[in-house]
Amino acid sequence: MNFSLNSDFSKALAYEKLDKIAKSLQDYESVKHLNPSNMNASEGLRRLHQLINKDEDLKRSIEKARSQELPKTQQNNKENAPPKKTVSDVPQATGAKVDTEAVYNECEELKKKGNESFKESTENYLKIQF
């Protein structure tokens, strides 16, 4: 979860510097969802809301972007969701075994992907800054 938080925060900063307010706002909100006490994300959201409140055209474009995003996300979630099962469809777990090595390997792979994503977004952020 920490790599997602760092990655989203780095992306939010980069988008903010590029004046891509809608994307920046989305990433700051993602950080706040993962860690409500994150003061850096709160500060970023405050800055963006000040910008949005000063510019009516920007405000309308943000609202439009959000209204178009939501239905797509909901639609994708429904299409990709596994079929729902009822309690009677699930067999009773009796002596179920967990392949801890497979779980460990999967976690390591996810960690590697997260670290790569964080490194990439940090490098992109640094390119913008300097």
Confidence of residue 95 (pLDDT cuts 50, 70, 90): low
For residues 75-110, one letter each, b for 16 or more C-beta atoms within 10 angstroms of the residue's C-beta and e for the rest, the string is eeeeeeeeeeeeeeeeeeeeeeeeeeeeeeeeeeee
d(CA 7, CA 16): 14
Residues 97-106: pLDDT tens digits?
A: 777 888 888 8
Condensed to tens digits (0 to 9), the pLDDT of residues 27-79 reads: 999 899 888 999 999 999 999 888 888 887 777 877 777 777 655 445 455 55
For 1-80, CATH gives 1.25.40
Q: Is 85 helix (H, G, I), strand (E, B) or coil?
A: coil
Higher local confidence (pLDDT), 130 or 45:
45
Q: Where are any strands of DSSP class E within the chain?
A: none
Across the range 119-129, mean pLDDT stands at: 79
* Mean confidence (pLDDT) of the chain: 78
pTM: 0.47
Domain segments of the chain as ranges: 1-80
